[in-house]
Amino acid sequence: MSSLPRPKPLPPLTLILGGARSGKSRFAEGLALQAERPYYLATGQAWDTEMADRIKTHKAQRGPQWDNIEEPLALTDRLKALSVPEKPILVDCLTLWLTNLMMAEYDIAVERQRLLECLPDLPGPVLFVSNEVGFGIVPDNALARRFRDEAGRLHQALAARADSVYLLVAGIPMTVKSI
């Protein structure tokens, strides 16, 4: 009797970037679902009815194979509390988390540093999904420029520490960095 090959274990830290509707979440979900009942740590907040509908739709689409957690602000603390060996945590997405922090007037540099410092101590794999926002035009207002800059800083810092980095374009994953 032959057994099926076991999926390759996930690296400790994976960063998945892409534009809106690039397929980054679907790709990340496929990676995380190599394990049984991974965590889906959603950072979105229902700022309006359209976002509330999106959140409801995404939850329904994910189905029962996930342990769903919502955490709009305390991402670092939640990662520390949830992380266990061989149970991946998919964080979707960092740009929504960054938006939430900015709207709540958190110190972004402090929160970014807290996140980066906790990562080496997490016993299980983490996959971060985030929107690459640096490919477009220079935003026309200070808040949008600050958001773009903060996202870029966060992505660079995570990519430097990540074992794997992917960029999704039109549903196609491109390996940027691999262990």
Catalytic residue set: 58
Local structure of residue 24 (DSSP, 8 states): H
Report yes or no: 172 and 26 within 8 Å, Cβ to Cβ: no
Q: At what angle do helices 94-103 and 108-118 cross, to 10 degrees?
A: 140
Cα 97 off chain centre by: 9
Q: Is 84 helix (H, G, I), strand (E, B) or coil?
A: strand
- Unique residue bearing structure tokens 């980066």: 116
